[in-house]
Amino acid sequence: MAVDENLKNHADERRRFRRRMVMAAAGVVLLFVALIARLIDLQVVHYDRYSAAAQDNRTRIQAIPPVRGLIYGRDHTVLADNRPSYSLDVVPARVHDMPTMLNRLARIVPITRAQRRRFARRAASAPSYRAVPLIAGLDKRSLARFEVRRNQFPGVKVQAGLTRAYPLGKKAAHVVGYVSGITASDLRRVDDRRYRKSTNIGKSGVEYSYESRLHGYPGSRVVEVTAVGRPLRQLERHPPLAGDDIYLTLNAALQRTAYQALGSKAGAVVALDPKTGGVLAMVSKPSFKPGLFVNGISPSAYHRLLSNPRHPLYNRAIQGEYPPGSTIKPVMAIAGMEAGNIDPQKKVWCPGYITLPGSSYHYRGWKRSGQGWLNLTQAITRSADVYFYKLGLKTGIDNLHRYAAMFGLGHDTGIDLARENAGLMPSRAWKHSVDHRPWYPGQTLNTVIGQGHVTATPLQLAQMTSLIAEHGHGFKPHLLKAWRSSGTGRMHRYKPRPLPPIRLKNSRHWGIVTRAMRDVVSNPHGTAYWYVGQNLEHPIAGKSGTAQVAGLPQHAAAPNEMSVQRPVRPHALFIAFSPVRNPQIAVAVVVDHGGGGSSVAGPIARHVIDHYLDRTRNQPQASASAKT
């Protein structure tokens, strides 16, 4: 034991102990310094960064969609409205057995398979605590049936909101357009930041053209949420800015009249104000119900519209390209007189046909027996094809094309609607670009009477008529009249854009053509006298057109238009303006495969003109009565 006592070194052990204590203390100090440094980094150096991150974990910024602007007619009739609507929403987290609940609910409220599929897709991509729409646009009867039993369906609730409505329905569907669900392609053409939480976007018509004004700007709210994102309370709110209200040149009463005047016929009616270029009416038939698209059209309903052989989605007023037939003869007459090749007073023999040198082919007029000796006025009044065949050959295709272009044929009008077609006014250059062949005289004969390759839209014909009525002065066709800024409440007026004036070498040529068009309606020899010119309330200048869509054998007699099967029946056309001395309205009517222009399209044009001028004449009296 004594040896062991002597071997033990207490001093060395104390030194080692003290060394260990110092090292431990130093470690503690270093750890404390590191902790202090980290606290300084978190609380001082990077305070803003980590504070914002913590705040983001506690709050969410949610977008508030704006209220869409309204669309009004020129008389302040509402054309596109926002109406209260109800949707049936489901919170999946509160539903224990979704298939069973949907089956029970379907016994009370009709649920289509398309709605079920849409709901399943939305529910799969959304948090379970968030309400998912099941049925949009819930009708009042279904709403009442559900409200009585709502306690039987936990997790199902009625959500109030606004939906787009179109009071004129089919009557203005093509021009006003419609809104529908936003797609990825839609977001590529707009600023997607303005569409957070929005569900619809303009798809056609004015709704499409003025989407940027109608949509508005979203607002936002700051919401406190739980750790899993469930909203607790609203902390801040920044209201959205509603879209601007749009006022159109469209006359709602005239739009209804034009729609009804077409009856069951397919076709188009366009009425312009010659003084401003404003569209007074624009009808295309058959039409469709724009409300079908607002809450999502079913695949079967959309397929029916697409497969309908009468093409109800097709806007014939700006997309339909028709042979204009004899409606362009007034413009061809101006071209002939201005080129210096036609004396309007000189009479020309019209035997019912014409042949070209070196050919025995008969280019026939609509009246096979011929019309005798006619001057230019009589040729327009009676729509003498043979006279215009001879005028075309003397004038030449280059002059015919040049003057037709001045009146807007062969290029789009630039109206504030999308997908307008330009029609076609053929020329030598066009012919060479198509088949690398020269222009033939026979093609000139077809062109001068509005047949062959010539096509025009009803809007182009209305613009052409307006320019004739105003002796070469006119404005670019437009629908926008004004808009009210939702931010300031200020009304802004659209300034019509003048077209390049058509300056004739001899201004008297305007009067010659205008008087001839008046004779078409008021002279007993005029093609429209017996159908349009009886008991006129307002002086009308017009021109009929019967555009063939199928040829006849060389020596076959011309059949009655209405006895021909519809697919090969001619199109019926009529252009007109009134009053003759101070034009207030210019109209173009096209009836698909309607037959005779004077007998079918003419009465429609007169009905539209009479309605508009009667109401215009009575408006001052009505205003005076209201004041007294």
Provide the pLDDT for residue 7. 57
Query: In this predicted structure, what is the pLDDT of residue 137?
Result: 82
Residue 619, pLDDT score = 67
The DSSP symbol for 326 reads G
Q: What distance in Å separates the CA atoms of residue 151 and residue 564, rounded to the nearest whole number?
A: 65
Q: Distance between the two ends of the chain, CA-based, in angstroms?
A: 137
At 622 the pLDDT is 43
Q: What is the pLDDT of residue 56?
A: 52
Long-range contacts of 522-529 (CB under 8 A, 24+ apart): 523/381, 525/378, 525/381, 525/382, 526/381, 526/382, 527/381, 527/382, 527/383, 527/597, 527/598, 528/574, 528/597, 528/598, 528/602
Closest CA to 419 of 322, 314, 498: 314
Mean predicted lDDT score pLDDT of the chain:
90
Three-class SS state of 254: helix
Rounded CA gap, 157 and 133, in Å? Answer: 10
3-class secondary structure, 75: coil
Tokens read off for 442: 């026979």
Q: Can you tell me whether residue 339 is helix, strand or coil?
A: coil
Provide, rounded to the nearest whole percent, the portion of the chain with pLDDT above 90.
Answer: 67
* Residue 628, pLDDT score: 32
Catalytic residue status for 284: no
- Residue-wise pLDDT for 48-79, tens only, equals 665 655 555 577 787 889 999 999 999 999 99
CB 250 within 8 A of CB 79: yes
> 52 forms bridges with which residues in the sheet?
none
Q: Which residue has the tokens 């005798």?
A: 372
Domains of the chain: which residue ranges?
54-77+169-248, 82-145+156-166, 252-287+315-481+489-621
Q: What is residue 282's predicted lDDT score, i.e. its pLDDT? A: 98
Q: Which member of 87, 326, 383, 599 is catalytic? A: 326
Helix spans in 428-555 (H):
428-435, 441-448, 458-469, 508-522, 529-532
54-77+169-248 maps to which CATH number? Answer: 3.90.1310.10
Cis peptide before 579 (omega within 30 of 0): yes
| Positions of the chain with pLDDT under 70 | 1-8, 42, 46-57, 227-230, 550-566, 619-628
- Given this model, what pLDDT does residue 617 score? 72
pLDDT at 623: 44
279 burial (CB, 10 Å; 0-12 / 13-18 / 19+) is buried
Looking at domain 252-287+315-481+489-621, what is its CATH homologous superfamily? DD-peptidase/beta-lactamase superfamily (3.40.710.10)
CA distance 335 to 576: 20
